[in-house]
Structure 1
Amino acid sequence: MTLPTPVPPLDVPDDLLTPYVLGRAAALGDRPALVDAASGRALTYAALDAGVRALAGGLVARGHAPGDAVALMSPNLPEYAVVFHGVAMAGGVVCTVNPTYTAHEVHEQLVDSGARLLVTVPAFLTTATEAAAGTAVEQVVVLGEVPEGSDAVPLQQLLGDRLAEQVPVGQDAVVALPYSSGTQGLPKGVMLTHRNLVANVAQTQDILGAGDGEVFMGVLPFFHIYGMNVVMNVGLVTGSTIVTMPRFDLAAFLQAHERYRVTRSFVAPPIVVALAKHPAVEGVDLSSLVQVVSGAAPLSAELAAEASARLGVEVVQGYGMTEMSPVSHFTRPGGYRAGSVGVAVAGTEHRVVDPATGEDLGVDADGELWVRGPQVMKGYLGNDEATAATLDPDGWLRTGDIGHVDADGYLYVVDRLKELIKVKGFQVAPAELEALLLTHPDVTDAAVVGVQDEQAGELPVGHVVLRAGAGSDADAVRAWVAERTATYKHLHRLLVVDAIPKSASGKILRRVLRQELAG
């Protein structure tokens, strides 16, 4: 049973990714497309168009065939878009790699993807070279100066005559291969096609409504699907200027907003925490902002309201996952509802299914969210078993997330199915307790995981970061939570830590916390 959505249908453009995203690039000329926040170094739309065509031409000249994979392991910088779209225009597959991975982790991804080239930056060249050994990688390529004695080559050596037209491939050809653990298990290559990414760029812009020539904050990593498609590709298709940052630093982040007059800031919940609570925000001119968009992890209604009140703009969230390119739900301008991740984007069906029985549930009933639409992945690379476990024969994607849809079509996500803590038969959502902890005046960050217990089955354990000079300790915060929750939700233990481990996209690394507790 498909649940309602108020968003009207949308005709998905019948284009390949790069011709669609960069269709106006040459005409936009000297307008800055991407700007490095720290240095101010800008890549204009004309230069981006020329660079993409030159790289595509060079790849074709060296025998790069449609479907060949190129691994891209780099922090955010203007040239990221040149490599990404140069490979796409040559008919290739961009395998995005987290640059903070160890050589072992990168090696595993290179082996799985079969990448023939690995593009990186000087700071990660040692890791890249070690990781490439014993893989199909024929050449390590550097964005920047190549250190003396290295066998790597600069990107300039790959450039050739500018390619006039996109190398012909089908719309269902894979163009991006980010890696995701999905609903369970080890990281897997998510096969995203031209149709997937074009559809989701169009769907996101349809509901975002960004104006021509806005300024997007590009601090979220482009190797992650959120930064790649929502920030980089939506930004480029709208003719916006994207301000890139290689990593998050609050002072530099705020300075970039002032300097470049950022209109839309795309963030993850940890950054919202800083915007809501950190004293450094006081006195910073953020008047250019029209919206803050949070994604990649749950954001509580209380925290969104606190940040919104402080900044004077809507702080909204969307919902998605790598396997959905990534957006399936988004908050329409002026359509904010406390605790909701918004409505299904155009062309997207959603249903809520009982995880135990597989039966469809109605409005306001909690169950597993299933999604179907043109943005849903082709499958996992070389892993039919995992694909079948995630996609049903009718194209429905089982998200592994628990939530409900109200009568107006607004989705409320409760938590991950696999992360629910079962206490004496009762389900405890870590996100619920984390949201509560973040409302405590002395708590700046929080995470909750379950630990095995012989009698209860599992018990929740909290981890918090306390603000400097906090008047509360672990016992006081734990008692405060107990006053506000049912008995089965009480924290079995509360640990004060220096930082909550998170992925580059802002998701809490619960497995790390579980491993530390087990140790």
Structure 2
Amino acid sequence: MALQNQDRTSAIDPNSGFCSDSGTFRSLRPQAPLPPETTPLSVADYVFSHLRASPPHPSTAALIDSATGRRILYPDFLRRVETLAASLQTTLGISAGDSAFVLSPNSIHIPILFYSLLSLGVVISPSNPASSDSEISRQIQLCKPVVAFATLETAPKIPSLRYGVVLLDSPEFESMMTNRIGEFRRVKVRQSDTATILYSSGTTGRVKGVELTHRNWISVFAGVYAVHGQSKAAATSPAVALCAVPYFHVYGFGYCTRVLALGEILVTMGKGRFDLRRLLRTVEELRVSHLAVAPPVLVAIAKDISVMDGCDLSSLEVVGCGGAPLRRSVIEQLRKRLPNVQLAQAYGLTESTGRVFGTVGLKESLVEGATGKLMPNFQAKIVDIETGANLPPSMPGELYLKGPFIMKGYVDDKKATTEILDSDGWLKTGDLCYINNEGYLFIVDRLKELIKCKGYQVAPAELEHLLQSRLDITDAAVVPYPDEEAGQVPMAFVVKRTGSVVHESQIMDFIAKRVAPYKKIRKLKFIDAIPKNAQGKVLRRELIKLALSNPVSKL
């Protein structure tokens, strides 16, 4: 594939992917061929064409419900997708361009629903079932759905819609997937049409609806096929993948649809309060080989020395983690506890349709502190936050991204869209990062979360890593605290290990001996738990409010 902007091949470093002519980084992974943009094609049809070309064995389960043991084999999965699509056309009159709101915990039905709606050209907008009424109201205002898919428990949260609410846990929905009513009428879907509206976390402002097109998702799967093709020949049986990440998040949505696109086995945990021991028992009972989790799960596995007692995890080959960075201390503990398991970290955003950098294979997963290499068809650049100049390898700056994965924009918010997408199509991530001489990404911190102390920039992540390296601390977060002389000073919130008698002054002295004077923690407060969202990201706004409302120790 010809490189964009006609960069000379000789100008691209074969180790880092850095192009000295343009000052950008190119993916060194196998390029993923994409269909012509003008070809009408839904992401569902793109995936099913691959499954038809390389079909899983008919006895392979597409879906397994870990709670009930129910299995849906691939031939039945494909029939259910088409039968449900025909039912939605016939009984509801739903059509391409309509929007569907999905409010449900993970279940065996959700992937079938997703692929059915995608094949119809219906925009999918999934939401957290724990969302408040006001949050749901805001999301419905953005996605403008004509129908909702919910459970008996979540349905009361949804206002009146044109086609009402379809209950996913009802006999009627089961009938819609199994009893064909009329023939499925093929729909013409343009790749530029919106496929999903997913919601940004809202931790840095009002929640936004992220429009991702069929082309965006086709690009994701094309990259998956390109990378997976290298290792597929060595596989003797399909991977058994357990997704413990919410399907409404870009990570969970991408993971559950990707597993099925590869003809692998997707295990769903089902509803109910998350239980780590139950998760590990499921890995043992179903011989799970690939596990997708959010960072809090891995932190719990690393910190709780008894949680794995009696569990046979010998089937586990890869643990994928995304949504928030893992601390190095946690990674070190995990490698001791799971020495034969590849820890596959990834970096991505909802606005980039998920994974942009990722670790592929054991060698990449062992690079200390890295979040993998650039995925196929992506470009990246590191931009100096003061001058705007493109930076070479190992120099930190803001990470910019470009490629066919980048979102269409924010729904009904041109101002926010133009602020994050420049005129050349580069997405400004707001993350301070660097890419080293081997092409690995290292995340320093969020630009908005940098603490400005006496004119210096302090990265909370650096201090948090030091805090979490202490055995008497189970979790920690650092936020800016206003100071008349310095402007801002670092303030730490610390969760002590049960039984620990460590004092504030001991922790402050510990940090002071390891950092420059301007990085020292000046205030500290012990707390029962660090507030985080479902993906494990620290809710710093809540901590800042708490800091300003309570007296704390000061040094």
Q: Give the TM-score taking structure 1 as reference length.
A: 0.91
Q: Summarize the alignment of residues 405-444 of structure 1 with structure 2, pairs less than 5 Å apart.
A: 405-444=435-474
* 1:473 Cα deviation after fit: 4.2
Distance 1:462 1:503, change over 3 A: same
- Which residue in 2 is equivalent to 1:149? none
> Which residue matches 1:19?
45
In 2 relative to 1, CA 474–20 (structure 1 residues): closer, same or farther, beyond 3 Å? farther
Mapped contact 1:450–1:458 kept (Cα < 8 A): yes
Aligned residue identity for 1:306: Q
Other structure's SS at 1:447 match: strand
The alignment partner of 2:330 has SS state of helix
| In the alignment, structure 1 residue 255 sits paired with structure 2 residue 285 | no
Report Cα offsets for 1:212-250 as digits up to 9, x if no partner: 610112111010000110x20221112222222245321
Counterpart in the other structure of 2:423: 393
- C-alpha distance in structure 2 between counterparts of 1:108 and 1:183, whole Å: 15
Q: Are positions 1:43 and 2:72 aligned together? A: yes
Question: CA offset at residue 488 of structure 1?
Answer: 2.0
- 1:497-516 correspondence to structure 2 within 5 Å: 497-516=527-546
Between the aligned partners of 1:324 and 1:384, the Cα distance in structure 2 is 17
Among residues 392, 410, 423, which one is paired with 1:380 in the alignment?
410
Tell me which residue corresponds to 1:352: 382
Cα 1:486/1:309, change in 2 over 3 Å: same
Aligned partner of 1:202 in structure 2 is: 222
Distance in 2 separating the partners of 1:385 and 1:418 = 18
Residue type of the alignment partner of 1:294: C
Call closer, same or farther: CA 1:484–1:54 in 2, change over 3 Å: same
Which is higher, the Rg of structure 1 or of structure 2? Answer: 2
Does residue 213 of structure 1 match 2:233? no
2:200·2:208 contact (CA, 8 Å) conserved in 1?
yes
Match for 1:220: what amino acid? V
Q: 1:480 to 1:35 in 2, by over 3 A?
A: farther
Q: Distance in 2 between matches of 1:205 and 1:277?
A: 35
- Separation (CA, whole Å) in 2 of partners of 1:42 and 1:450: 50
Name which of 479, 489, 492 aligns with 2:519.
489
Do the aligned partners of 1:421 and 1:459 also contact (CA within 8 Å) in 2? yes
Contact persistence 2:56–2:263 (CA under 8 A) = no
CA distance in 1: counterparts of 2:164 and 2:428, whole angstroms: 38
Kindly state the Cα deviation for residue 157 of structure 1 after the two structures are TM-superposed. 5.9
Quickly say closer, same or farther: Cα 1:167–1:458, change in 2 above 3 A: same
Corresponding position: 1:190 with 2:210: yes
User: Aligned partners of 1:242, 1:268: CA distance in 2, in Å?
Assistant: 17
The answer to whether 1:297 aligns with 2:324 is: yes
- State the AA in 1 paired with 2:265: T
* Equivalent-residue separation in structure 2 for 1:479 and 1:265 (angstroms): 39
Match of 2:29 in 1: 7
Q: Give the letter for the 2:313 counterpart.
A: L
Residue 22 of structure 1: how far off its partner (Å): 4.0
Aligned residue in 1 for 2:253: 228
Q: Is the 8 A contact 1:56 1:162 kept in 2?
A: no
Aligned partners of 1:142 and 1:171: how far apart in 2? 30
Residues 1:367 and 2:397 are matched in the alignment: yes
Q: Which amino acid aligns with 1:139?
A: G
Q: Which residue of 2 aligns with 1:325?
A: 353
CA distance in 2, matches of 1:458, 1:160: 64
Q: Which moved more, 1:499-508 or 1:481-490?
A: 481-490
Letter in 2 for 1:323: E
**Aligned residues of 2:27 and 2:377 also touching (Cα < 8 A):** no
Is 1:320–1:329's contact at 8 Å kept on the other side of the alignment? yes
1:88 is the counterpart of 2:118: yes
Q: Against the structure 1 CA distance between its residues 282 and 322, is the aligned structure 2 distance closer, same or farther, given a 3 Å change threshold? A: same
Mapped partners of 1:244, 1:220: distance in 2: 10
> Partner of 2:337 in structure 1?
310
Q: Is the 8 A contact 1:57 1:90 kept in 2?
A: no
Contact 2:101 2:140 in 1 (8 A): yes
TM-superposed deviation, 1:88? 0.9
Q: Contact conserved, 1:217 with 1:262, CA < 8 A, in 2?
A: yes
Cα drift, residue 268 of structure 1: 2.2
- 3-state DSSP class of the match of 2:24? coil
Structure 1 138/468 Cα, relative in aligned 2: closer, same or farther at 3 Å? same
Q: Give the superposition deviation at 1:454.
A: 1.8
Q: Which residue of 2 aligns with 1:33?
A: 62
Cα–Cα, structure 1 residues 391 and 157, in superposed 2: closer, same or farther, change >3 Å?
A: same
Kindly indicate whether the alpha-carbon contact (under 8 Å) linking 2:30 and 2:226 is maintained by their aligned counterparts in 1.
Answer: no
Query: 1:465 aligned to 491, 495, 504, which one?
Result: 495
Q: Which AA in structure 2 matches 1:324?
A: S
Residues 241 and 262 of structure 1, relative CA distance in 2, 3 Å threshold: same
State which of 119, 133, 136 in structure 1 corresponds to 2:149. Answer: 119
Q: Deviations over 1:440-474 (max 9, x none)?
A: 11222222222222222112222232332234344
Q: Distance in 2 between matches of 1:32 and 1:414?
A: 41
Q: Using the TM superposition, name which of 428-437 and 178-187 deviates more.
A: 178-187
SS for the counterpart of 1:48 is helix
Q: Are 1:275 and 2:301 an aligned pair?
A: yes
Mean Cα deviation higher: 212-221 or 486-495: 486-495
Q: How high is the TM-score relative to the length of structure 2? A: 0.86
Distance in 2 between residues matched to 1:207 and 1:154, nearest whole Å: 36
8 A Cα contact 1:141 1:155, kept in partner: no
The alpha-carbon distance between structure 1 residues 388 and 466, as it changes in their structure 2 partners (threshold 3 A), is same
How many residue pairs get aligned? The number is 507
CA distance in 1, matches of 2:123, 2:379: 28
On the 8 A contact 2:63/2:73 being kept in 1, the answer is yes
Q: In the alignment, which of 143, 165, 171 is matched to residue 168 of structure 2? A: 143
Question: How big is each residue's C-alpha offset from its partner over 1:254-287, in whole Å with a ceiling of 9 and x where there is no partner?
Answer: 1111111111122222222122121212342111
- Conservation of the 8 A alpha-carbon contact between 1:207 and 1:330: no
Deviates more, 1:7-16 or 1:383-392: 7-16
Q: Equivalent residue of 1:178, what SS? A: strand
Structure 1 residue 154, shift from structure 2 partner = 5.1
Partner SS, residue 507 of structure 1: coil
Please report how far the alpha carbon of residue 163 of structure 1 lies from its aligned counterpart in structure 2 after TM superposition.
5.3
CA contact (8 A) 1:218 1:227 kept: yes
Q: Deviations over 1:183-205 (max 9, x none)?
A: 95321111111111121123245
Give the conservation status (yes or no) of the 8 Å contact 1:444–1:465: yes
Q: Does 1:99 align with 2:129?
A: yes
Confirm or deny: 8 A CA contact 1:56 1:163 kept in the other structure. Answer: no
- 1:451 corresponds in structure 2 to 481
Cα distance in 2 for residues equivalent to 1:137 and 1:102: 22
| Offset of residue 328 of structure 1 | 0.9
The 10-residue stretch of structure 1 (379-388 or 162-171) with the greater mean CA deviation from structure 2: 162-171
Aligned to 1:150: none
In the alignment, is residue 58 of structure 1 matched against residue 83 of structure 2?
no
How far did residue 416 of structure 1 move? 0.9
Secondary structure of 1:401's aligned partner: strand
Q: How far apart are residue 481 of structure 1 and its match?
A: 2.7
Q: Distance in 2 between matches of 1:344 and 1:155?
A: 41
